[in-house]
């Protein structure tokens, strides 16, 4: 069992939790993910690691309440324990000194997993710029943390309530326009956002990494549910990724598969609400 040591609501329906998982924390690297199960009947939920601390043995996860399983997770409190917490899974991000600026782009809760990547790239001696996108100012997460590990932070909000009005791609284009010598972009967020970022960097031939979190069951290469076409080849996000060349990923196929269980998810959420599991 894996105890919840800290819980914070970052914005409505978005939670951060610190989990006591020393053996995972010992091996975790930026870019990797974990899979958790709330209880014996629970789904296996994959989440990209938002932070880790080898000394305290803690892993930070950030998640948004979307379906029944995340609703149950959000209903857990400090002192409660998760049934399963497996990781670290997937290949770590490549951390190295670049010839130019590193730009991390995070959209929504995708900001969280860009944080350890930004930190590690900064520690590796790179100039790091973070672009953080949110629908509106109130739901922007981890801004302070991000400022501490980067050279510059650009915020975009869809409604213009904070920072640049528009999408993260506007900020990427802004950097290109001002002549920033970008050596790499790593974008994490909704699939449509990652696709847009890849489309924005393609004409400038800026190497662009995206981190995929598709439908997945085991996370160890077994189910093939997380398959994605990359450069015409079938790859599994869990063992070949989760990071891939954003210019080679077939986003269209990925987006349609993400919707596969939408109706069943609604049914399950209804079930969880009815039997009161999601209540605090």
Q: Footprint of another protein on this chain (CB under 8 A)?
A: 23-24, 27, 37, 41-44, 68-69, 72, 83-89, 217-218, 220-225, 227-229, 234, 236, 239, 250, 253-254, 256-257, 259-261, 264-265, 267-268, 271-272
CB 225, min distance to another protein, A: 5
Which residue, 72 or 122, has its beta carbon nearer to another protein? Answer: 72
CB 117, min distance to another protein, A: 18
Which residue, 105 or 254, has its beta carbon nearer to another protein? Answer: 254
CB 69, min distance to another protein, A: 5
Q: How many CB atoms lie within 10 A of CB 279?
A: 9
CA–CA gap between residue 164 and residue 161 (Å, rounded) = 9
Which residue, 84 or 151, has its beta carbon nearer to another protein? Answer: 84
Helices 191-201, 251-258: inter-axial angle, 10-degree rounding: 170
CB 19, min distance to another protein, A: 12
Which residue, 44 or 135, has its beta carbon nearer to another protein? Answer: 44
Tracing tokens 């986003």 back to the chain, one arrives at: 251
Which residue, 96 or 259, has its beta carbon nearer to another protein? Answer: 259
Which residue, 153 or 254, has its beta carbon nearer to another protein? Answer: 254
Which residue, 183 or 239, has its beta carbon nearer to another protein? Answer: 239
CB 149, min distance to another protein, A: 25
CB 54, min distance to another protein, A: 14
Output the six-digit token pair for 202. Answer: 């393609």
Tracing tokens 């400090």 back to the chain, one arrives at: 78
CB 159, min distance to another protein, A: 30
Which residue, 164 or 277, has its beta carbon nearer to another protein? Answer: 277
CB 220, min distance to another protein, A: 5
CA–CA gap between residue 43 and residue 207 (Å, rounded) = 35
């Amino acid at each position: 069992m894996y105890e919840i040591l800290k819980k914070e609501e970052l914005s409505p329906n978005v939670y951060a939790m610190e989990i006591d998982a020393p053996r995972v924390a010992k091996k975790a690297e930026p870019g990797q993910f974990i899979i958790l199960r709330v209880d014996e009947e629970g789904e296996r939920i994959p989440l990209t690691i938002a932070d880790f601390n080898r000394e305290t043995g803690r892993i930070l996860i950030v998640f948004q309440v979307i379906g029944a399983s995340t609703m149950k997770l959000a209903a857990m409190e400090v002192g409660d324990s998760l049934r399963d917490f497996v990781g670290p899974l997937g290949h770590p991000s490549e951390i190295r000194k670049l010839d130019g600026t590193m730009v991390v782009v995070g959209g929504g809760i995708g900001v969280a997993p860009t944080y350890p990547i930004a930190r590690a790239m900064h520690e590796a001696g790179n100039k790091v710029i973070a672009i953080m996108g949110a629908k509106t100012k109130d739901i922007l997460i981890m801004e302070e943390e991000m400022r501490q590990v980067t050279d510059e932070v650009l915020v975009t909000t869809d409604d213009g309530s904070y920072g640049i009005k528009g999408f993260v791609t506007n900020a990427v284009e802004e950097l290109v326009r001002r002549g920033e010598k970008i050596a790499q972009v790593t974008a994490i967020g909704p699939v449509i956002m990652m696709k847009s970022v890849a489309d924005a960097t393609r004409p400038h031939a800026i190497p662009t990494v995206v981190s995929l979190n598709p439908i997945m069951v085991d996370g160890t290469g077994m189910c093939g549910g997380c398959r994605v076409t990359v450069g015409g080849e079938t790859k599994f996000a869990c063992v070949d990724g989760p990071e891939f060349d954003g210019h080679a990923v077939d986003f269209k196929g990925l987006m349609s598969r993400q919707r596969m269980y939408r109706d069943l998810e609604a049914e399950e959420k209804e079930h969880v609400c009815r039997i009161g599991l999601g209540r605090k």
